[in-house]
């Protein structure tokens, strides 16, 4: 029987796209398993991964950098080399998933996936999630609620679905917050 293990992820970056700009931090939490019939949630704070990375270039968008509050000069000195960070993250995903298939979940997926996939391919040549094992939390809500995507923001979701955790723009905190939203959606009938 195939089982999937879900990993909620969040990225903080200093610009809109990888390459010219840098991923400064990312957080990942294991948040549950699904066997095709039953979803089993796990404590998002129990199995976590967090990394702060050295910037890969000099370009940045001040407004994007301000969102995370991270200091590029400190990260140049103390951040992980991107290759080490991505190798360590891939090894962690593999270890936590065990024999299950890892699936990445995010809100919104396109942003976080773009950064992580680009960094994994650039620095390790492969993603632990392959090229397509990912799920957008916003789209999951839209499908279950039978709502338009434009009307599927957190502000428009029923309060009972939302996490009680604050959205801090710390990648690990926000990955845990998203994990709880995802868990609630997986149990919700719409």
Can you tell me whether residue 139 is helix, strand or coil?
A: helix
- Catalytic one among 131, 134, 167, 169? 169
What does residue 163 show for φ and ψ, rounded to 5 degrees? -75, 150
Task: Give the whole-angstrom CA distance, residue 160 versus residue 157.
Answer: 8
CA dihedral 27, 121, 77, 57 (to 10 degrees): -120
- CB–CB of 56/20 below 8 Å? no
Q: What is the DSSP track for 18-30?
A: BTTB-EEEEEEEE
**Dihedral sign from CA coordinates of 169, 175, 179, 185:** positive
Task: Give the whole-angstrom CA distance, residue 68 versus residue 1.
Answer: 41
Task: Give the whole-angstrom CA distance, residue 79 versus residue 103.
Answer: 26
Query: Is position 169 annotated as part of the catalytic site?
Result: yes
Please provide the size of the chain in residues.
190
Catalytically annotated residues: 169
């Amino acid at each position: 029987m195939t089982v999937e293990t879900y990993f909620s992820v969040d990225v903080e970056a200093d610009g809109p796209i990888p390459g010219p700009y840098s991923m400064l931090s990312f957080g990942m939490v294991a948040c549950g398993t699904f066997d095709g019939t039953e979803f089993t949630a796990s404590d998002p704070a129990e199995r976590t991964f967090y990394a702060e990375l050295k910037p890969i270039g000099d370009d940045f968008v001040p407004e994007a950098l301000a969102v995370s509050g991270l200091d590029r000069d400190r990260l140049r000195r103390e951040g992980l080399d991107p290759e080490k960070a991505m190798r360590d993250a891939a090894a962690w995903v593999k270890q936590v998933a065990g024999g299950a298939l890892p699936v990445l979940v995010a809100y919104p997926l396109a942003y976080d996936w773009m950064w992580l996939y680009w960094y994994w391919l650039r620095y390790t040549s492969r993603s632990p999630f392959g090229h397509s094992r990912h799920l957008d939390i916003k789209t999951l809500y839209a499908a279950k609620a039978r709502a338009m995507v434009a009307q599927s923001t957190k502000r428009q979701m029923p309060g009972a679905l939302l996490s009680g955790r604050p959205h801090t723009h710390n990648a690990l905190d926000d990955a845990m917050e998203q994990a709880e939203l995802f868990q609630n959606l997986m149990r919700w009938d719409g």
